[in-house]
Structure 1
Amino acid sequence: MSHLPTTKQLRYFVALEQYEHFGKAAEACFVSQPAFSVAIKELENMLNIQLVDRTNKNVTITSLGRDIARQARVVLRDLEDLVDLAKGNQAPLTGQLKMGVIPTIAPFLLPKLLPALRRAYPDLKLYLKEDLTERVYERLMEGELDLVLIALPYELRNVTEMPLFDDHFFLAHHKKSRFVSSSHYNVSELPTDSVLLLEDGHCLRDHALSACNIKNADKVSDITATSLLTLVQMVDADLGITYLPEMAVHSALLKNTHIQTEPLDPGSYRQVGLVWRKASTRHKEFTMLGDFIRQHYRPD
């Protein structure tokens, strides 16, 4: 049998194809750049092909290199499934579990959930990766994560979705807001540029627009926030109004602010759910985790 690439070499090259930068890719793989570069060169020598065009300033993946990276992702996913299959004979929710979670859920759900999860499953080693939905989904499909905790709906392929609970939206405004009256509120009556939202890339932005029935783009401000904390600070300064999910409203996020919240129509909500690869052999185990989250999450 001819020599085969190692999983380390494949993982490094997939990272290089993603970042197109040796330093950033090495950092993402938690390895020094010299060691990373050596591994990539060894992979090229073993395959007897050029994967990367190198210049002083740029890294360009060759056309064949792109094909190799796509196949490497398939190989790494299959290896993850092999490990999952072996873990199927172990007690559920024990050992290592890598879960991605989005930043508009993590700080509100996890502090309530993790202590109970540790007590119930002390042998579970849960590794968390917080990032935007698109990125945790990519890592899930590349085998870097076992499952992800995100907000639905979101366009996903080749996955199993398990909705857990509805997270209702609230109108959030300064107590003496110049934009709305808490006793008489209507989206159509909002001033131009008065709705503050997170920047593009946060699914909460799209969920708020859809669930809260904001059809007129003129109502939405061009000024965006990078986090819910920043968004709350902008509303507290009465720069506009926004829509916050229930789990954020009942957290400490609004403490020591002058923000007031109003419930919206019962149909204004996003769904929080677990997602995993459709081919995963740990379906029953992930369903157990989803049931556990359902039972232990309380919004207030």
Structure 2
Amino acid sequence: MRPTLKQLEYLVAIAETGKYGEAAKRVNVSQSSLSTQIADMEEELGTRLLERGRHGAVLTPTGRDIVVRARYILRQVEELHTLSRQSEEDFKGRINLGVLPSVGPYLLPPATRQLHQRFPELRLIVREERTIDLAEHLSDGRFDLIISTPESHPECRSEPLFTEQLWICAASDDPLSSTTGPVEPEELRGHPLLTIGYGHRLSELVHRLADDIGTQVSTEYEGSSLDAVRQMAIMGAGVAVLPSLYALSEARRDPEQVIRRVNYPSAERNIALCWRATSPLSDRYRTLADELSATAANILEQGAASIGAA
């Protein structure tokens, strides 16, 4: 006898909640039934998968390996079920979407409204994560799709959504804030650049930009969010480097905030919808990509027009 899909589902639920009781609630079974199924699975496999501790359930090394494979198997089965229920014109069911925190809050609210009008039975479950975490959780099946930088996920299929320019903002009394035109590389030399921390592709891009133009990224402050980075720049800690969706959205909310586009060829990043190469839903995902791309183009166009961006 082999582990059943239910047993794999129970194991993943315990791994994600850390507690038998919480896992049982998630999968709608009694705790005793869940415990019995896990014990049967361990007996069948001939190894311990979990240890009960004072603070809950802890995966053994073997358990961690099996959870990774269990997530993959469960996602494959779910994708097959989804595919079998849909016609070419239809798109419904639950999709787990991971997204960069520098993109999600600005793209997804209007995009999900448009998607709901077109596909009323489609349900997006959204989570924001760093680039490296998006890669891991797409691979292990926690996400069906991610919105990220495609070069960070070379093993995936992807559909381009939009290209973002990089913008800067500085304190109001900084000479960089005295005009609104594009900022040239030489103007940034000697100014420490501010960006978000490790694990984000944007951080890598800003470090590379600093090397190219002959300046440095601040070692005194590393932001946990774009809002934090921008606020530190406003207080004079350095020059914030921000992507288009965020920069233009914030500039529309605060017309007094001066932002300037970085006039440098590599001061941009591509954003794409990415999914596992093994997924049978590529055609459906390209339909989603078309909707997301159209929404992003409208946001960027309106944002640039509102500040007279060059």
TM-score (structure 1 length as normaliser): 0.80
More strand by share: 1
How far apart, in 1, do the equivalents of 2:289 and 2:242 lie? 23
How far apart, in 2, do the equivalents of 1:135 and 1:30 lie? 26
Structure-to-structure mapping, 1:29-178, within 5 angstroms: 31=26, 39-40=34-35, 42-48=37-43, 49-56=47-54, 61-89=59-87, 91-157=89-155, 159-177=156-174
How far apart, in 1, do the equivalents of 2:257 and 2:136 lie? 36
Structure-to-structure mapping, 1:260-271, within 5 angstroms: 260-265=258-263, 267=265, 268-271=267-270
Q: Is the contact made by 1:160 and 1:278 (CA closer than 8 Å) also made in structure 2?
A: yes
Q: Deviations over 1:214-244 (max 9, x none)?
A: 5768543331111111111111111111111
Q: Select between 235-244 and 95-104 the one with higher mean Cα deviation.
A: 95-104
How far apart, in 2, do the equivalents of 1:170 and 1:5 lie? 52
Q: How much does 1:117 deviate? A: 2.3
Q: Deviations over 1:166-222 (max 9, x none)?
A: 10001221231278886775277224xx22111212222122323565576854333
Q: Aligned pair count?
A: 291
Q: Which amino acid aligns with 1:43?
A: I
Q: How much does 1:275 deviate? A: 0.3
For residue 219 of structure 2, give the secondary structure of its aligned residue in structure 1.
strand
Q: Is the contact made by 1:118 and 1:124 (CA closer than 8 Å) also made in structure 2?
A: yes
Q: How much does 1:266 deviate? A: 5.1
Q: Deviations over 1:146-172 (max 9, x none)?
A: 211113431443x20112211000122
For residue 294 of structure 2, give the secondary structure of its aligned residue in structure 1.
helix
Q: Deviations over 1:226-280 (max 9, x none)?
A: 1111111111111111111111121036744864222212521011110011111
How far apart, in 2, do the equivalents of 1:226 and 1:154 lie? 20
For residue 270 of structure 1, give the secondary structure of its aligned residue in structure 2.
strand
Q: Paired residue for 2:306?
A: none
1:190 aligns with 2:190: yes
Q: Provide the alpha-carbon RMSD of the alignment.
A: 3.4
Residues 213 and 82 of structure 1: CA distance in aligned 2, closer, same or farther (over 3 Å): same
Q: Deviations over 1:74-113 (max 9, x none)?
A: 4223313322431454633333332221210011112332
Residues 29 and 233 of structure 1: CA distance in aligned 2, closer, same or farther (over 3 Å): farther
Q: Is the contact made by 1:169 and 1:264 (CA closer than 8 Å) also made in structure 2?
A: yes
How far apart, in 2, do the equivalents of 1:214 and 1:37 lie? 61
- Structure 2 residue ranges without an equivalent (≥5): 304-310
Q: Is the contact made by 1:77 and 1:143 (CA closer than 8 Å) also made in structure 2?
A: yes
Q: Is the contact made by 1:77 and 1:141 (CA closer than 8 Å) also made in structure 2?
A: no
How far apart, in 1, do the equivalents of 2:186 and 2:264 lie? 15
How far apart, in 1, do the equivalents of 2:32 and 2:224 lie? 34
Q: Paired residue for 1:283?
A: 282
- Structure 1 residue ranges without an equivalent (≥5): none
How far apart, in 1, do the equivalents of 2:125 and 2:24 lie? 15
How far apart, in 1, do the equivalents of 2:143 and 2:242 lie? 28
Q: Which amino acid aligns with 1:284?
A: D
More helix by share: 2
How far apart, in 1, do the equivalents of 2:199 and 2:35 lie? 31
Q: Which amino acid aligns with 1:290?
A: A
Q: How much does 1:135 deviate? A: 2.5
How far apart, in 2, do the equivalents of 1:196 and 1:28 lie? 41
Q: Paired residue for 1:11?
A: 9
How far apart, in 1, do the equivalents of 2:203 and 2:255 lie? 22
Residues 11 and 222 of structure 1: CA distance in aligned 2, closer, same or farther (over 3 Å): farther
Q: Select between 166-175 and 78-87 the one with higher mean Cα deviation.
A: 78-87
How far apart, in 1, do the equivalents of 2:65 and 2:229 lie? 41
Q: Which amino acid aligns with 1:80?
A: E
Residues 295 and 54 of structure 1: CA distance in aligned 2, closer, same or farther (over 3 Å): closer
Q: 1:208 aligns with which of 199, 206, 209?
A: 206
Q: Which amino acid aligns with 2:37?
A: E
Q: Is the contact made by 1:96 and 1:127 (CA closer than 8 Å) also made in structure 2?
A: yes
**Kindly, what percent of the aligned residue pairs are identical?**
22
How far apart, in 2, do the equivalents of 1:290 and 1:41 lie? 43
How far apart, in 2, do the equivalents of 1:39 and 1:244 lie? 47
TM-score (structure 2 length as normaliser): 0.78
For residue 90 of structure 2, give the secondary structure of its aligned residue in structure 1.
coil
